[in-house]
Amino acid sequence: MSHLAAHEAAELNELLMGCVNTINMMAVYLNQVQDQELATMLQRHYASHVQDYNMKVEWARSSFGSREHLQVMPLDQTTYQPTRLEQMYTGEYPSVRPEVKRHGLDDRTIATGYLLNLKRAGREYAWAAFETTTPQLRAFLEEGFRMHSHQAYEVWYYMARRGWYPVNRAPEDADRTMARIYQQVPHHQPEAFYNEADAFHRNVQYGYNLAYGYGR
């Protein structure tokens, strides 16, 4: 008897296929990458994708799932400074054109392919987690989403610094417009507000009962 629900097995199978594709593509990337920073990043990420795949295989084979803990690198929150957005890349953005016939991959193509793969996979992990009823599997998929999210951010930052991913500031009035439309909720503990409202309604009902002789 299967230890997974039908929809869980279907989601796991899709994610396993995605892992096979990611690992195969990363092997190609590592053979053709030229930039040392990009190569180092791919090598560092590669091990976590292999671990992620092997843990899914354990989930497919065992009712206990995997007893490993997925290694998720912390998100570096010091690299990006919104106040220095224009300084991330100051040159003219280099143009790009798809090649219908090519004999190898350049670094921009590798970084672009890897980033888009991470984004797609991350969305699939998030969706699968929402559809999962086994708590342990759900927690594992949530970690998988975090892994892909953090890695995608690192790849994006690498590309943005080279002008391969355009970074533009929002119009000046965008923040002011949102600030004007959306107002803060004055109650930081809404349950306390509802408790006060319930007490008020109980007092009103009590006064009504007294006035009309109910409950005597």
Over 90: is that where the pLDDT of 194 sits?
no
Ramachandran region, residue 65 (left: φ > 0; alpha: ψ -120 to 50; beta: rest): left
Structure tokens at 150: 């953090």
Q: How far apart are CA 216 and CA 209, in angstroms?
A: 8
CATH number, position 52: 1.20.1260.10
Mean pLDDT confidence for 53-76: 86
Task: Tell me the pLDDT tens digit for each residue of 153-192.
Answer: 999 999 999 999 988 877 888 888 998 999 887 767 766 6
Q: Report the amino acid identity of residue 154.
A: E
Q: How many angstroms separate the CA atoms of 15 and 168, rounded?
A: 33
The Cα 12–Cα 186 span in angstroms is 43
Note whether 116 and 189 are same-domain residues: no
Q: What is the mean pLDDT of residues 104-128?
A: 97
Q: Are residues 168 and 188 in the same domain?
A: no
- Are residues 22 and 80 both part of a single domain? yes
Q: What whole-number distance in Å separates Cα of residue 167 and Cα of residue 122?
A: 21
Angle between helices 135-160 and 36-61 (to 10 degrees): 170
Task: Tell me: do 189 and 136 sit in the same domain.
Answer: no
Give 51: exposed, middle or buried? Use CB within 10 Å, 0-12, 13-18, 19+. middle
Q: What angle do CA 131, 132, 134 make, to 5 degrees?
A: 160
So what's the pLDDT on residue 42? 98
The reported pTM is 0.82
The answer to whether position 1 is within a domain reads no
Residue 36: which residues within 8 A CB-CB, separation 6 or more?
none
Domain containing residue 88: 6-172
Spatial distance between the Cα atoms of 102 and 104, rounded to a whole number of angstroms? 6
